[in-house]
Structure 1
Amino acid sequence: MGVALVLVGGNPQPVRAAGAEFTVTPVLNAAQRAGVTDYFDLDVTPGHPQTLTMILHNEAKTPETFTIGANPAYTSDSGAVAYDRADPTGFTGEYSMHKLVTGPTEVTLAAGESRQLTYHLTPPASTFGGIISGALYVRRELDADNTGSGVTLQNRYAFALPIRLHSGTNLGTAPSLRLLAATGESLSATIENPSPHQFGEISLTLTLVARATGKTVWTQTWSQLAVAPTSRFTLTPAPPVLKAGQYQLTMSAKSGEYTWQGNRQFTLSAAAAAQQAAANQPVANSPWGSLTFFAIAVLVALAAGAGGWAWHWRRQRGH
């Protein structure tokens, strides 16, 4: 679910995920950075605990149970910042939000009830650069919905209330992107943000060149990507079927005033190329379809002939 808070008069307002029938409101404390009112954006002192408070309101006409987790920010393979996993494989940071924040993980609210929930934040013991990014991820599970087709679906609604921690220094770091790895069996590019910065508005282009000829065989551009701090993600585009050989994949990316370049080489074996070609081969029409049609036509013709012969035989007997 996307995160969006409607601000009125500079104060945080209740926010709901579409169709979810619940709202989440942050209660800001003295550590909140000036000018930010729609999520927790905190200046923290290393090793000094503080509390985070939010108000959860059940708008449904029935009691509802909510699960809540303090999750790290990570980058999904679609190139977006996500918060829905406690231990995502693409997160490479030293400090994970689910180890820094503790508090209620499940709460049941009566119809129309609001409750203030308090969480305990313990920042890292030493100064850190950039930010530590995560969220309080709130999920409501509805009753099973029988579709009438024998399939039972479980409806879920979720909302992420972001948390960003600063320790007062960037330690000279800058946003960064690098092409970490490339493979050709099913073309993929693993891209990493090794920096402790979360940023977006990224335009990224991948270009594939056949090393034997120096010719570009494929290129694709993505726009409006975003990355979480210290995380990696894998793009898996769908280029044309490649021949066996040696290739170089080049990345060119830009966000604001920052630009990044990178390249990786790989070899596509004859066996892998043949497998790709077979997987992309259009499905041929089955010969059985034509044979079936032919057989039906023959049977119809025979039936028509037999019917005509029977009519002629009965007519002859009548005479």
Structure 2
Amino acid sequence: MDVLQTKKHWKLVPMLYLMIGFLLLLPVKALGEEMQLSVEAELPENQITKDAGYYDLKVTPGQIQELVLKVYNAGDKETTAKIEINPAYTGDGGTFVYSIDASKKDDSLKLPLSDIASTDENISIPAKSAADVIVKLAIPDEPFEGIIFGGIRVTDTQKEKEGTKESEEKDSSGFSISNKYAYTVAMRLRENNQIPDSNLQLKTISASQVVGRNAVKVLLQNPTPTIIDKVSYEAKIMKKGQSQVLFERKANDYRIAPNTNFNFPISWENKPFEAGTYDLMMTAKSEESGQKWDFKQEFTISAKEAKELNDKAIDLEQDYLKYIIYGAIAAAFLLVLIITLLVIYSKKKKKKRKKKRKAESQSKNKRRKGTNNGASKPKRKTNSGKRRPNGN
């Protein structure tokens, strides 16, 4: 048996080698495709954070400056990169996002980075080589307060043509972020070290959905030209006037960009929305600045909103206890109705039988009277005219 088993094992060895070789080849090819473009910021003399991989510049009113961003192409073919300069905003996941989204533009943002910095929209990079992207800064003559924050986004247009989907952006190393085929180098501008106090405001609360699942979205706003870092949240939802917590959420390490708004979603835990008025209690705290914001606000979910969202929701849990109770009530009502109808029917039937018996009895009495009135009485026999023989 041992020999046979050993032979069987040896037969599997070539197959194992083939599988290992196939797995080893896959990552090499993928990496070659994903890492064709890379970027590097050449930091100027007015750089504040000297060892950063992003631009952190101290500027003066009316200043004109050119920045150099190197773009490397590690591929075997020449490629074209698309260059965008966008203001930063806060993603709903608590990270900085630098892609264009007009709906995210906050009304408190008066001077976006795209109004100050400019560059060519496209640049060609030869194979196995690098090219310089020249970014021109034109600082307004009128001084600005706080921080102007955004990023230079470089996208491989060839990958866009191929229809390759990009992964979600997340700032994993400070301000410089990247995904599969797009790289962003952040840019932070300020004229002095006097940064105003940050603020956080609660704008609206609304019933909504996140990836098809019911959730309440709390719209928060940072109306100040400041970055609020290392923010933690604790939120609770109760029925209006009650203390029992229905839904809650905690989150840590959020980053909030200047002059932006964002949603803080609170999951409804796959439960259907119920129309009514609710209370939100929420606390936000920055571990970096020590600031704390407390919010308490009521909101209403209408019957129309609840129905529309429940009809569209996926993986919605049904409240079977509620349906059992409703079913029991309906069954009890139906049972009472049936019993009531049976009682009414029984009474009517009994009344009908009684009426029928009475009618039959009256009919019999009438027949009896009719018979008695129509028959002559029998005549009594008399011995008139006849005498009994005398015994004498």
TM bin (shorter chain): 0.7 to 0.9
Q: CA deviation at 1:199?
A: 3.0
Please state whether the residue corresponding to 1:272 is helix, strand or coil. helix
- Pairing 1:254-265 to 2, within 5 Å after superposition: 254-256=285-287, 257-265=290-298
Select the residue among 175, 184, 191 that pairs with 2:207: 184
Q: CA deviation at 1:140?
A: 0.6
Q: CA deviation at 1:91?
A: 3.7
Q: CA deviation at 1:143?
A: 4.8
Select the residue among 82, 97, 100 that pairs with 2:116: 100
Number of the residue aligned with 1:162: 186
CA distance in 2, matches of 1:18, 1:74: 29
CA distance in 1, matches of 2:48, 2:33: 28
How many residue pairs are counted as aligned between the two chains? Answer: 262
Select the residue among 233, 252, 256 that pairs with 2:283: 252
CA distance in 2, matches of 1:200, 1:17: 35
CA distance in 1, matches of 2:53, 2:160: 33
Contact 2:73 2:79 in 1 (8 A): yes
- Pairing 1:186-225 to 2, within 5 Å after superposition: 187-225=216-254
Contact 2:205 2:219 in 1 (8 A): yes
Q: Does 1:140 align with 2:156?
A: yes
- Pairing 1:239-318 to 2, within 5 Å after superposition: 239=268, 240-256=271-287, 257-278=290-311, 279=313, 280=316
Contact 1:97 1:133 in 2 (8 A): yes
Please state whether the residue corresponding to 1:271 is helix, strand or coil. helix
Q: CA deviation at 1:273?
A: 3.2
Number of the residue aligned with 1:7: none
Q: CA deviation at 1:272?
A: 2.9
* Structure 2: stretches of 5+ with no match in the other structure: 1-30, 167-180, 210-215, 321-392
Query: Aligned AA for 1:99?
Result: D
- Pairing 1:107-122 to 2, within 5 Å after superposition: 107-122=123-138
CA distance in 1, matches of 2:257, 2:236: 24
Select the residue among 47, 54, 79 that pairs with 2:94: 79
Contact 1:177 1:193 in 2 (8 A): yes
CA distance in 2, matches of 1:212, 1:86: 38
Where is the strand percentage greater, Structure 1 or Structure 2?
A: 1
- Which 4+ stretches in 1 moved above 6 angstroms? none
Number of the residue aligned with 2:35: 20
- Relative to structure 1, is the Cα distance of residues 64 and 255 closer, same or farther in structure 2, using a 3 angstrom cutoff? same
Q: CA deviation at 1:95?
A: 1.0
TM-score norm. by structure 2 comes to 0.61
- What do you get for the CA RMSD once the two structures are aligned? 2.7
Q: Which moved more, 1:20-29 or 1:62-71?
A: 20-29
Select the residue among 190, 197, 203 that pairs with 1:174: 197
CA distance in 2, matches of 1:86, 1:104: 20
Q: CA deviation at 1:223?
A: 1.6
Q: Residues 133-192 of structure 1, C-alpha deviation per residue, up to 9 Å, x if partnerless?
A: 0111101133579xxxxxx74355101111100111436x21222221101365211011
- Relative to structure 1, is the Cα distance of residues 25 and 88 closer, same or farther in structure 2, using a 3 angstrom cutoff? farther
User: Aligned residues: percent identity?
Assistant: 23
- Relative to structure 1, is the Cα distance of residues 253 and 86 closer, same or farther in structure 2, using a 3 angstrom cutoff? closer
Larger RCO: 1 or 2 (CA < 8 Å, sep 6+):
1
TM-score norm. by structure 1 comes to 0.74
Select the residue among 229, 232, 243 that pairs with 2:258: 229
CA distance in 1, matches of 2:243, 2:113: 46
Please state whether the residue corresponding to 2:114 is helix, strand or coil. helix
Select the residue among 37, 40, 64 that pairs with 2:79: 64
- Relative to structure 1, is the Cα distance of residues 17 and 128 closer, same or farther in structure 2, using a 3 angstrom cutoff? farther
CA distance in 2, matches of 1:212, 1:34: 50
Query: Aligned AA for 1:140?
Result: D
- Relative to structure 1, is the Cα distance of residues 228 and 270 closer, same or farther in structure 2, using a 3 angstrom cutoff? same
Number of the residue aligned with 1:54: 69
CA distance in 2, matches of 1:17, 1:88: 35
CA distance in 2, matches of 1:189, 1:163: 29
CA distance in 1, matches of 2:301, 2:99: 35
Contact 1:20 1:158 in 2 (8 A): no
Please state whether the residue corresponding to 1:135 is helix, strand or coil. strand
CA distance in 2, matches of 1:96, 1:238: 33
